[in-house]
Structure 1
Amino acid sequence: MKRNIQILMHTHWDREWYFTKDETKVLLRNHMQEVMEYLENNPDTVYVLDGQSVMLDDYLELEPEAEDRLRELIAKGNLRVGPWYTQTDLLLVHGESIFRNLYYGIKRAREFGHPMLVGYAPDTFGHSSQMPQIYKAFGINSTFFWRGYSELKGKKSDFIWKGLDDSKIVGVNLATGYQGAKYLESDPEELKIRMNKIMNVLDTYSTSSNRLVMNGHDQMPIQKNIKDVITEIENIYPEDTVEISDFESYVEGLDVDNLEVVTGELTDSKHARIHRTIGSTRMDIKLLNTEIENKLFNVLEPLAVIGNNAGISYPHTVVEKICKTLFGTHAHDSIGGCNSDKVNQDIKQRLLNALEMVNTQIELHLRLLIMGDKQNEYTIAIVNGLPEKREKEIVEFEMLTRSKHFELFNEEGEKIPYSIVSQQKEDAGLIDRQVAARLQDIKVFRTTIAVPVASIEGLSVQYYTYQDVEEPVTHIESTLENTIENKFGKLIVTDNQIDYVHLDTNKKYENILSIENSGDAGDSYDYSPPVEDWIINSKDNGTLDFSVNKTTNYQEIQFDLKMNVPLDSKARENRIAHQEVGYSGSLRLYQNDSKIYVSLNHINESKDSRYRLVIKTGIISDKVKVDGYLSNQEKAVYNQEALDIWETDQWVEKPVSIETAQSFISLKSQNKQCTVYTEGLKEYEVLGDSIYLTLFRTFSHLGKRNLVNRPGRPSGIEIETPDNQLLNQTFTFRVSIDFQNANQESKISKRYLTPLIGYQQKEFNRFNINPRENVTKTSKYLSLELEELVVSATKLTEENDLFIRLFNPQNKEVTAQLPEESYLSNPMEELKGSISSFTLAPQKIKNIIIKK
């Protein structure tokens, strides 16, 4: 068969890894100068700029005068950019981050010409099963990738990838890697040897006469002698055609109707490493990223929608800046944490900067909202950021008052009972520098309170007031009991363990919570057990001190857990556990909520370790239900098929049964269920009747060779990274555990991660702002009847229309009604026709625009 050898010229541009983004910016300027000069002199040539539009911004930051040349090359199709803004990870970040990354990537590429509408993700550590639908929504009908494929998925490298919702796109596994034809030799004999190796692989896995030869590598400069090389290849294979090509041309040559259909996640590690346990590397960075994502997508954006109704301009540019800062940390290496210490320090600092921006914008919006209530001096705003009505919930927020005691009143003047969570006395001069400048001695009380909200409409504000009083109006009752309870169940602490009794079934779940410490001989890519591990559990080797507090609105067990663990790998090897470590925190029950709210605080003091939270569910199942990007799915508890063959089939990495979820993990058996909801803890393993959530792991090197689960060469490079031991790093972990039967885990999770917001108009602030006359008290709201549909995004378009992204996590169709002036949209926020109601199929995503 005559073959069409298609040379695809590209560079793979890791913005940071064991080198910093500032180093690569300087290199990029040099690289782009060479690429543009070559393309201008060879107008029949195509060059792919790694599928990420951020390279345009990075280059033009240093050489803005080159913009016109760049535009011309992109407009002519010589230089291919997009669709991503950055080459993101496709398992670890928020689903909205995936949508926004493509949105900003395509938008930026459009400003220069036509974006490359190809799902190019060459080096990502695995691919979510929802990506076919997401790609297709953006008009992307194919994906090209390297990692995650094996013959268990499909026999050939060209296939149809069917997503969770049955969306289908063309999938192409780069069988020789994105770097397979890097630096092609100019010597004819050497080139022949090299090309024969490449062609043998491509002949085995390709389905058509096309052979895609990837001529590029990490930060590889353009191969200027490529045309001479092509001439030599033509001499080697005189029966074949050889040309410089692109991804789209390769897809056009496929017989799409006869390709094998592949389903599910692409996370197999036969030919390329996936690093299935990278989800717990540098948890300080990952938890920080999740905090920003949750605040941006679940708090700031819907809050800004409400603010716009009150006359506060929507902060489009601030949101874009935060997004792009986030996306700069979402590349597989960056968010994976598999970098040098210097790079991880830079990533963490950029995330801290993004957190400051999102926190400040949230507070600014809340302050301006409160100023809209010009009738009241002492005002509190309670905000619902979901476009759905909510009932019988608790909002927790901070008060700053001159008096130790105060009373709350709703808009009808009724007194609202509240519980004090914590209270401390402070110097107002440390908050507001004007107080210190005037040499005033003012003491204030900072009080965190929990307030019941009987009912609140969607996307709305309720305004409360308060007044100082002399006598306490509420209190915490400390008791000597060992039990707390609500109408769903009760928690009991006995014999160094925590039990739960589910009242509906009278089922007792014993030892529901403990901490596991084990060794970690791995590196920044993979957890690896030591050859001989020593696993320690807090139930058997720890002490649990506790106290019980009961308030009007919740009951709580506060605890202090101590356990002894090995200091490092040498101590573990010698079975010496002299290092005391502690976990403090609380278990809380609310009267109208079936979840057990768990908060853990920890300062790490051990090295070469992995810590996991063990949730004993009392349920044994071979399937576990989890959420992915805007979806639910069932996964096998044990990766049986791959584990049976990985050694004999010589996989490059053991396909361990450690998996990734976005925000919940649920086990079911007959009439029993246990669901764990998490805030950033995404790596889990199910063993027996227990869910193991990785809290964090510590290790010594960026890369190591010959790990127990990963034989052979090191991933990355073998350099020491002492920061990865996370010594003295402070962690706060939050999860909730629910033993109630439910089939709306995604909806519950969304509410869990989108709490009601409370904010008090404070007398003392870090920054002063002027009142806005145009800001008014808003009574607008939007309470959609969404049934079992779940909201992913609530924001304004750039035209200031309301944009809502929904998905159906159920295995049945769900119908919803919409208000007047509602329109279908695509993810680029472009109108696609009016709509008054719709029925959404299982796992489908819908984009809606509602005009004012």
Structure 2
Amino acid sequence: MNREIRILMHTHWDREWYFTKDETKVLLRNHMQEVMEFLEENPETIYILDGQSVMIDDYLELEPEAESRMRSLIEKGNLRVGPWYTQTDLLLVHGESIFRNLYYGIKRAEEFGEPMLVGYAPDTFGHASQMPQIYKQFGIDSTFFWRGFSELKAEKSDFLWKGVDGSEVVGVNLATGYQGAKYLELEPDELEKRMNKIMPVLDNYSASNARLIMNGHDQMPIQKNIYQVMENMKRIYPKDQVMLSDFESYVAALDKDKLEVVTGELIDSKHARIHRTIGSTRMDIKLLNTDIENNLYNVLEPLAVIGEQAGIPYPHGVVEKVSKILFGTHAHDSIGGCNSDKVNQDIKQRLLNAKEMVDTQIELHLRLMCLGNQESSETIVLVNPLPEKRVNQMVDLEILTRTKGFRIFDENKQALDYSVVSQEKEDAGLIDRQVAARLQDIKVYRTTIVLPIGEIEGLTARYLTFEEVDEEQKEAAVPTKKRISNDYGELFVESNVLCYKDKKTQDVYTNILSIENSGDAGDSYDYSPPYNDWILNSEECGDMTVNVVEEKHYKEMTIDWQLTVPENQAQREEKKAERDVNFNVTLKLYPGDPKVYVTMHHENRTEHNRYRAVFNTGIQAEEVKVDGYMSTQMKPVYNEEPLSIWEKDGWVEKPVSVETAQSFVSLKNTDAAFTVYTKGLKEYEVLDEAIHLTLFRTFSHLGQRELINRPGRPSGIEIETPDNQLINEPFTFEFAFEVAHSHEEESHVAKDYLTPLVGYQLKEFNRFNINPRNTVEKTDTHLSLDLNGLVVSSTRLTDKNERFIRLFNPHAEEITVSLSETAYTATAMEERLEAIKTLTLAPQEIGNIIITH
């Protein structure tokens, strides 16, 4: 065979890991100076800048005068940038974050030249099954990656990867890794020895006569003697062609009609570790990230669309800034949490900064919208962030008043009923510094209420008013029995376990929700059970103190759940449980809603522990339904085939049956269903009839060797990371569960759960003073689409201030919706295509539309 030995020069650039992003910025300046000098001296050379456009920004931040020089090399095709903004994780972040990462990455690359439209994800810990469609929407027809492939997927490392909707891209597994030909030897004998290790692997796995030699590594400087190396390589392989190449040329050499077809996620761990349990590492960081993503995509962006109708300029700059902060924390190591303590501290601080920006912009928008209501200064604004009509909703609303009592009125001056959740008295001078500066002593009441809303149009605002009254709020009713119920079911505690009675079937779910404590001998990459584990459940090691409140619009059960568990690994090995830990758990039921809403507060006190919420579903099933990126899929409960062969075939990591979902996990059989909806808890395992949802885990090292599920060398490096024990870290976990009553698709219920109505009161006292704007007016516009089962992923304004909506079809059948307003199909780059009156999406298909004002 006359082979084409295609050498691809590149660098893999982890912006942070056990080193900080600021260290790599300084290194990048030196790296780029060498690369550009080499490319200018050797204009036939192609160099891949790791598929991420952020490297442009990081370099020019320190050397802005080099912009024209860099631009010239990108325009000529010597330097290839994009399509990503950063090398993101492809399982743990929000689906919108994947779209936006590509959007901003391609957009930035286009400012310098032609972007590299290749789905290059060399080191990512697994690949979601929706990625082929996402890639195709950006005009990307191929993906190159290292981790996640095995012969269970295909015999050859070149294949066609078919996504959940049927979209296909060329998949290329880098069989010798992205670092396989790093630092190629110049001396002929040593080079031949090296190539004798590389070429047999590529000969075995390549589907054509092309062989891709990846000449690069983590922060590796450009190999300046590459042309001399190539001359020696030509002497070793005189019958073969030796050339510098790029990804596109390699794909062009493949006969796509002869490639095998691969489906599903790429998460096999035969040749490279995939770290299937990294989804529960540093849950403080992951939960903070999810909170920002939800507030950005589900609240701020649609709120700002409504605000633009009211005369408030859309905050494009804030959205882009927050997005890029997020993407900087979404790299596989960064969001994975597998970093040094110093780096994780920096990541967390950047996320806190992003949260402040998002939360402040949301409050500012709501405040300006209230000021737009010239009819009354006692205004409450309610916003529906979804472009569809909502009915029978409950709004959590915070009211600040000088009096204990107040009344709320709708647009027709009719009094609205509500229920009080809590009320606290505080000093107004601690809120508004002007009060303190004037030496005023003003006390105010901060009251949280639940306000029922019968209906509200899509993507709209309703304006209510309030009136302070000098009367006491009535105390909530405290029943004598420790149980709460609504039309769907009853929650109660019996024999020290939480139980639920389904009123429709009369079935009783005993120990429906419990807390599991086990050991963790793993590291930042992987949970690993200790060799002598001792697994405890709150049923046996817990004590419950129960209080109940019944109000008209909600019923609440609070459990002070005290567990006695091992404090550390030594106690666990000795089977000693001497540390009391508390989970303060609130469960709420609402009228007309079958879900049980759960909030857990916990402050960690233990080391080398893992905590999971366990749901006793009563359902035996071989498959579990979950959501991925804008899609639903069925996953096996137990990974039978890979688990049966992994040791015999020498997989580098055990393919444990711990999986990742985005926002729901559902077990079903012919008679029943049980679904858990989550806010940021994405790692689950199904054992027998129980769904185990990981809350958090604690451990001591970035990497460790010889774990039970991961034999051999440590992943990363073997350094201590005491912060990962999360001692004194306060956690808030939020999720809901439902014994099946709803006939809605779970994706729609999850979107509704994650996108509640937003309410805001125009307050007398504020941290910051702002002037009313003459351009801001009360808005009565709305956009209520009949989505017919389609689910909204995002609603925002494009750079041209056009309303852009991304939808997806989670169902197994095609769905068509009518669009009453002028609408266009759109690209993922948010550009208009053709005018449409209806939109039809196939099963699991994603659709982008622009609807004009």
Q: Which residue of 1 aligns with 2:762?
A: 761
Amino acid at match of 1:348: K
Which region of structure 1 is more displaced relative to structure 2, 106-115 or 830-839?
830-839
1:495 Cα deviation (Å)? Answer: 1.3
Matching residue of 1:499: 499
Match of 1:816 in 2: 817
Contact between 1:549 and 1:555, CA under 8 Å: does it hold in 2? yes
Match of residue 212 from structure 1: 212
For 1:319 and 1:592, locate their aligned partners in 2 and report how far apart those are by CA, in whole Å: 36
Residue 139 of structure 2 corresponds to 139
Q: Does 1:383 align with 2:383?
A: yes
Residues of 2 paired with 1:366 and 1:269: CA distance?
48
State the partner residue of 1:630.
Answer: 630
Q: Which amino acid aligns with 2:830?
A: E
2:840 paired with 1:839: yes
Asked if 1:360 corresponds to 2:353, the answer is no
Match of 1:82 in 2: 82
> 35-44 or 816-825, which moves further after superposition?
816-825
Q: Where do 1:434-473 residues align within 5 Å?
A: 434-472=434-472
Aligned to 2:104: 104
State the distance in 2 between where 1:670 and 1:482 align. Answer: 33
Correspondence 1:655-734 to 2 at 5 A: 655-734=655-734
Q: How far apart are the structure 2 equivalents of 1:503 and 1:635?
A: 30
SS at match of 1:820: strand
Q: Distance in 2 between matches of 1:475 and 1:382?
A: 26
Partner of 1:294 in structure 2?
294
| CA deviation vs aligned residue, 1:110-154 (integer Å, no higher than 9, x gap) | 000000000000000000000000000000000000000000000
Letter in 1 for 2:387: P
Structure 2 counterpart of 1:850: 851
Q: Which secondary structure does the structure 2 equivalent of 1:228 belong to?
A: helix
Q: How does 1:518-537 map to 2 (within 5 A)?
A: 518-537=518-537
For 1:566, the aligned partner's letter is P
Alpha-carbon distance in structure 2 between the residues aligned to 1:184 and 1:9: 11
In structure 2, C-alpha distance between the alignment counterparts of 1:33 and 1:696, rounded to whole Å: 43
Q: Which residue of the partner structure matches residue 224 of structure 1?
A: 224
Q: Give the superposition deviation at 1:474.
A: 4.5
- The equivalences for 1:44-123 within 5 A come to 44-123=44-123
**Counterpart contact for 1:652–1:711, Cα < 8 Å:** yes
Q: Which moved more, 1:470-479 or 1:372-381?
A: 470-479
Q: TM-score when scaled to structure 1? A: 1.00
AA at the equivalent of 1:519: G
2:162 corresponds in structure 1 to 162
Which residue of 2 is the match for residue 283 of structure 1?
283
Q: Offset of 1:585 from its aligned partner? A: 2.1
Matched, 1:649 2:660: no
**Relative to structure 2, which stretch is displaced further, 737-746 or 835-844?**
737-746
Q: Is the 8 A contact 1:675 1:739 kept in 2?
A: yes
Task: Kindly indicate whether the alpha-carbon contact (under 8 Å) linking 2:371 and 2:377 is maintained by their aligned counterparts in 1.
Answer: no
Write the deviation string for residues 621-640 of structure 1: whole angstroms up to 9, x where unpaired. 01000000000000000000
Partner of 1:782: 783
Instruction: Tell me which residue corresponds to 2:581.
Output: 581
Q: Who is 2:793 aligned against?
A: 792
Q: Is the 8 A contact 1:393 1:592 kept in 2?
A: no
- Report SS of the residue matched to 1:545: strand
1:369 alignment counterpart: 369
1:106 counterpart SS class: helix
Code of the residue aligned with 1:837 in structure 2: it is T
Q: Secondary structure at the match of 1:544?
A: strand
Distance 2:388 2:615 in 1: 31
How far residue 492 of structure 1 moved from its aligned partner, in angstroms, is 1.3
- 1:324 corresponds to: 324
Deviations 1:271-297 (A, max 9, x none): 000000000000000000000000000
**Alpha-carbon contact 1:704-1:718 (below 8 Å) kept:** yes
| Percent identity between the two aligned chains | 66
Residue in 1 aligned with 2:342?
Answer: 342
Match of 1:606 in 2: 606
Residue 475 of structure 1, CA deviation: 3.7
Secondary structure in structure 2 of the residue aligned to 1:441: coil
Which is worse superposed, 12-21 or 535-544?
535-544
Whether contact under 8 Å (1:278, 1:525) holds in the other structure is: yes
> Tell me, what secondary structure is at the counterpart of 1:257?
helix
Residue pairs, 1:173-184, within 5 angstroms: 173-184=173-184
Gaps of 5+ in 1: none
Q: How big is the shift at 1:468?
A: 1.4
- Distance across 2 between alignment mates of 1:44 and 1:2: 23
Aligned-pair CA distance for 1:820: 2.5
3-state SS, counterpart of residue 533 of structure 1: coil
After TM superposition, give the deviation of residue 478 of structure 1 in Å.
1.2
Deviations 1:287-343 (A, max 9, x none): 000000000000000000000010000000100000000000000000000000000
* Alignment-mate amino acid for residue 112 of structure 1: F
1:185 offset after TM fit, Å?
0.7
In the other structure, the counterpart of 1:542 is 542
- 2:317 & 2:634 partners in 1: Cα distance? 39
Report if the CA contact (8 A) 1:646-1:655 is conserved: yes
Q: In angstroms, what is the RMSD of aligned CA positions?
A: 0.7
Q: Deviations over 1:522-547 (max 9, x none)?
A: 00000000001001111111100011
Aligned residue type for 1:706 = E
Q: What's the counterpart of residue 201 of structure 2?
A: 201
Q: Counterpart of 2:230 in structure 1: which amino acid?
A: I
Q: Deviations over 1:632-685 (max 9, x none)?
A: 000000000000000000000000000000000000011201000000000000
SS of residue matched to 1:23: helix
Question: For residues 362 and 173 of structure 2, what CA distance do their matches in structure 1 show?
Answer: 43
For 1:234, the aligned partner's letter is K
Q: SS in structure 2 opposite 1:793?
A: strand
CA distance in 2, matches of 1:614, 1:532: 22
What is the distance in 1 between the residues matched to 2:253 and 2:226? 23
Alpha-carbon separation, structure 1, partners of 2:422 and 2:234: 77
Query: What is the identity, as a one-letter code, of the residue corresponding to 1:273?
Result: R
Contact 1:417 1:474 in 2 (8 A): no
How many Å separate the matches in 2 of 1:478 and 1:777? 41
Q: CA deviation at 1:506?
A: 1.6
Separation in structure 1 between the aligned mates of residue 53 and residue 469 of structure 2, nearest angstrom: 58
1:593 alignment partner in structure 2: 593
Cα deviation for residue 471 of structure 1 reads 2.4
CA distance in 2, matches of 1:824, 1:382: 30
SS at structure 2 position matched to 1:144: strand
Question: Where does structure 2 lack aligned partners over 5 or more consecutive residues?
Answer: none
Deviation at 1:819, TM superposition (A): 2.4
Q: Tell me how far apart the structure 2 counterparts of residues 31 and 397 of structure 1 sit (CA, whole Å).
A: 53
For 2:844, give the aligned amino acid. Q
Matched residue count: 852
Contact 1:406/1:472 (8 A) holds in 2: no
- 2:433 maps to a residue whose letter is R
Match of 1:477 in 2: 477
Match of 1:558 in 2: 558
Question: Offset at 1:575?
Answer: 1.1
Contact persistence 1:418–1:474 (CA under 8 A): no
- Measure, in 2, the Cα distance between the counterparts of 1:421 and 1:85: 43
Q: Residue type matched to 1:800 in 2?
A: N
CA distance in 2, matches of 1:106, 1:398: 41
SS in 1 for 2:478: strand
For 2:26 and 2:301, the matched residues in 1 are separated by 35
Q: Is residue 750 of structure 1 aligned with residue 733 of structure 2?
A: no
In the TM superposition, residue 483 of structure 1 has moved relative to its aligned partner by: 1.4
Q: Deviations over 1:401-445 (max 9, x none)?
A: 000111111111111111111110000000000000000000000
> Following TM superposition, by how much is the alpha carbon of 1:473 offset from its aligned partner in structure 2, in angstroms?
5.2
Per the alignment, in what secondary structure is the counterpart of residue 540 of structure 2? coil
CA distance in 2, matches of 1:199, 1:305: 55
Name the CA distance, whole Å, in 2 between partners of 1:470 and 1:19.
59
**Separation in structure 1 between the aligned mates of residue 374 and residue 417 of structure 2, nearest angstrom:** 25
Question: In the alignment, is the contact (CA less than 8 A) between 1:480 and 1:547 conserved in 2?
Answer: no
What is the CA–CA distance in structure 1 between the aligned matches of 2:106 and 2:592, rounded to whole Å?
45
Q: Deviations over 1:594-642 (max 9, x none)?
A: 1000010000000000000001111110100000000000000000000
The answer (yes or no) to whether the contact 2:404–2:473 under 8 Å persists in 1 is: no
